[in-house]
Amino acid sequence: MRPETLRAVALGGRVADLTIEAGRIARVAPVPGPARACALPLLVDAHVHLDKTHVVDRLPRRARSLGEAIALAAEDRACWTEADVRARAGRALAEAEAAGIGALRTHVDWTEPARPLAWDVLGEVAADWRGRVEVARAILAPLELVGDPDAGPAIAAAAAAEGVALGAFVYRQPHLPALLEAVFDLALRHDLALDFHVDEGLDREAQGFDVIGALTRRHGMAGRVLCGHACALAVRPEAEVARLLDEAAAAGVALTVLPTTNSWLQDAQEGRTPRLIGLAPMHEARAAGIEVLVALDNVRDAFYPYGDYDLLDAWRLAVLNAHLDPADWIEAVTEAPRRALGLPPGRIEEGGPADFLLLEAAEVAAMIDHARLRPVVWRRGRPLDAAAPLRASA
C-alpha cells in the first residue's frame, strides 16, 4: 500500500504533515501554519456499564431518580442470558470503536456473593475485542457486600485472580468508615486498584468521598483509587469542598465526572425543571491537583435512556455545563484516563501506530461550534470511515 500524507495537522501546539505507511506513522514533518486539521489520540473511557447497556426498549418506564433506576435495573437483570449480555455488549463496543474509543473500563454489577453471569461473559467479550477496543472490567458491588468479612474476601480474590479493579457503591451506608476500611484492607492484601461509585446524590451529609480520600492517604495508595460521580460535592459548603479537594489531591485520588447520567437523574422530579445537575466541581478539583476524567457512564439503560458510545458527546456536555475550555479539557477523555487506568500514553509520533482521530478543523473547539462536526477515526493506518479528509498521495 502506498504511503499517504495528511497535510497541516495540529498536534498539541505544533503543525506537521503526517505520513502514514504500513499502518504506522512513518514521518512527522513540521510545517508552517495555519493548521487545516487537528489530530487527537484515541479516546479512553474509564467508566461504562456494558452489562446494563441497551436495555431501554424493554423497560416498563423511565426512571426519574437514582433509586428508581437501581430498582428497574434489578428487575431487568432477570432477563439476562449469556446471549443477551454478549449481543448488547457487542453492539456497545461496535459503537465505541466507531466513535474513536481505543480502551474502556466497564463496571460489572456483583450484587451477591456468587459470581454473576455477566462477569464471565464480558471477560470473553473483552478477549474477542482485543486489538480493537481494549476492555478492562471492574467489580461493582454494594459496599455492604464487599465490606462483609464473609463475602468480601472471596470477591477480592476473584478480582486479584483476573487482575481487575475492585469497586463498591458508596452512599451514606451505616458504618460506612468501617466498611470502607475493610475494602482498603482487601485491596492492600491483594494489590488491587479501587474504583468507587461515591456520593451519587445531592445530600450534604454524604461523606464517602471524605473517607476514601483519608484512607487513600493513610494506606499510601496514591494513583490507585478512582472516585466516580461525587455529586454531593456540588452542594456542600465551598470552603469544606476546597479542603476536601486539597486532601484528595495530596492523597492521589482521581475523579471521574459523568455528565449525562448525573444531568438526567439528579434533582429530577416530574413536571419540575431541575435546579441542580450534580456535576462535581471540575475546575476546583483540577486546580487542587486532582486528575479529572470525563466518561460516558450509562447508555440506553435505566440510569440514562439515551445516547450511544460517542464519548465526545459526553465531553461536549461537560464543556457546556461546567464552562470548560475545550483545548484545556480534551485530555479528560484522552490522556487523563490513560494515566488513571495505568495505560501507556497515546502519543501521535513517528514510528507509532497510525491510530488517532482527525478533525477537519484547526482546533478542538470546532466540535462545540459545530455540533455535527465529527472526527474521522483512523485505525491501523486507515480511516474507519471511507471519507477521510485531508488525504494526499505521497
Are 289 and 252 a contacting pair, CB within 8 Å?
no
Contacts for 193 with CB less than 8 Å, ≥ 6 apart: 165, 166, 187, 224, 225, 226, 342
Contacts for 220 with CB less than 8 Å, ≥ 6 apart: none
When computed from its CA atoms, the radius of gyration of the chain, rounded to whole angstroms, is 21
**Torsion sign (Cα): 259, 264, 267, 272:** positive
**Torsion sign (Cα): 36, 41, 47, 51:** positive
Place of cell 449525562: 260
Tell me which of 200, 291, 331, 335 is the catalytic residue.
200
Burial of 2 (0-12, 13-18, 19+ CB in 10 A): exposed
Is 205 one of the annotated active-site residues of the chain? no
Are 230 and 280 a contacting pair, CB within 8 Å?
yes
DSSP state of 360: S
**Separation CA 250–CA 127 (nearest Å):** 36
Count, in order, helices (H) and strands (E) of the chain. 14, 16
Are 231 and 200 a contacting pair, CB within 8 Å?
yes
**Torsion sign (Cα): 90, 95, 98, 102:** negative
197's enclosing H/E stretch is strand 194-198
50: closest CA among 368, 309, 372? 309
Q: Catalytic site residues?
A: 200
